[in-house]
Amino acid sequence: MLRKGIIKGFIFLILLLIVVSTLNSIFIIKTGHRSKLIEGLYKHTGNAYDVVLMGSSHMNGGIDPNVLWHQEGITSFNYATGGQPIDVTYYLIKEVLKNHNKPIVVVDLYYLGLRDEYGDEGYVRNALDNLRLSKNKLDAVINCTPRRDWESYLIPIIKYHDRWKELTVRDFLYDTSESYFAKGFDAGTDKYGKNIISEVSTTGTIDLPPKTEEYLTKIIDLSREIGFKLIFINIPYDYNSTSGSTNWVKEPAKMFNRVAEIAEDNDIPFINYNDKLDEIGFDFKSDMNNSSHLNIWGANKITVKFGEFLKENYDLIDHRSDEKYAQWNIDYRHSQAASISDK
């Protein structure tokens, strides 16, 4: 009797987990961030990427994997999500590494400027809601979110149960394949029309906020432990765009000077593209979507230059003539970069 009871209890638990998992996937808000993470983390794990791109919205619309492919034959995926704090980036890197063996990991460091202990809940959910339940997700929830929210991150239907009134067919038959054509990249097509205001060539340094420095160190330590190559970058933006934020460092230029010191001490390349605007022919008025984010043309310029850097400094194979990667040529033809260049 006891054995039968245990078996029935186990079966009930399994069925309950299946039901909860199914409801979670239906009720979670469907965003581009969800589709890209499903595609990049869980659906396409057969071919390891040469390069993985990590960070917040600055990276999301900053480096285009389809341009890296078209120019250099480099395979990559853009895992950046809007408002992604650096602690979340650390756990997302660990999730990527489950299926991709020692890619070059490129991290945009804009979010080092966050002074709050936790990122904005809506932004954090862009990433954590879309990770499969695992020890890594549990660690991320415990370390990246307030205690009061842990249950709803682990069982998202607790957060989204009221959405039953607005559910559509799309929630039940969610197609994520379009994000795979884009390899996670998405940039705007507006032109900012204004020059950069902030002084980018400032001397001196300031300390990083304690938590962001802690997780920058964790990322560096992880690269040594696992053995992957690490690159830090800063995608162009106007440092004045955060001047009114009470939860942000007041002197981003000096913060990035400190990052340069940390990177040099750890033998990690750090490319601050804000210091290279003239060198790469970057026009803030026409290459920015707004004061903080590149548009498709600016992203193309940065990606081409970054691709040249990768080719010059790393032993990467050009896959374009390999039949195994024929789909990548098709994906490029469906990409935002290709559609813009054809106009």
Query: Residue with structure tokens 């991320």?
Result: 140
Q: Dig out the tokens for 131 from the structure.
A: 């990770």
Q: How far apart are CA 108 and CA 130, in angstroms?
A: 21
- Asked whether residue 216 carries a pLDDT value surpassing 70, the answer given is yes
Collect all residues with Cβ–Cβ distance below 8 Å to 22 and sequence separation of at least 6.
Answer: none
Mean pLDDT, residues 3-32 taken together: 60
Name residue 143's amino acid. N
- In the chain, the N- to C-terminal Cα span, in Å, equals 73
Structure tokens at 130: 């879309």
Structural domain boundaries in the chain: 2-341
Question: Given 3.40.50.170, 3.40.50.300, 3.40.50.1110, 1.20.120.400, which CATH number is that of 2-341?
Answer: 3.40.50.1110
Q: Which single residue is written with the structure tokens 């917040």?
A: 56
Residue 61: CA count within 13 A, CB half-sphere: 23
pLDDT tens digits for range 41-55: 988 776 689 999 999
pLDDT at 101: 85
- Taking residues 291-313, what's their average pLDDT? 96
241: which 2 tokens?
């765009």
* Alpha helices, H only, the chain: 2-27, 32-37, 57-60, 65-72, 86-96, 121-128, 135-144, 150-154, 157-160, 169-172, 177-182, 210-226, 252-265, 284-287, 296-313, 326-333, 336-341
Q: With contact defined as beta carbons under 8 Å apart, do 195 and 285 qualify?
A: yes
Point out the least confidently predicted range of 103-107, 185-189, 215-219: 185-189
Residues 6+ apart with CB under 8 A from 38: 130, 176, 179
pTM of the complete model: 0.91
Q: Are 342 and 301 in contact (CB under 8 A)?
A: no
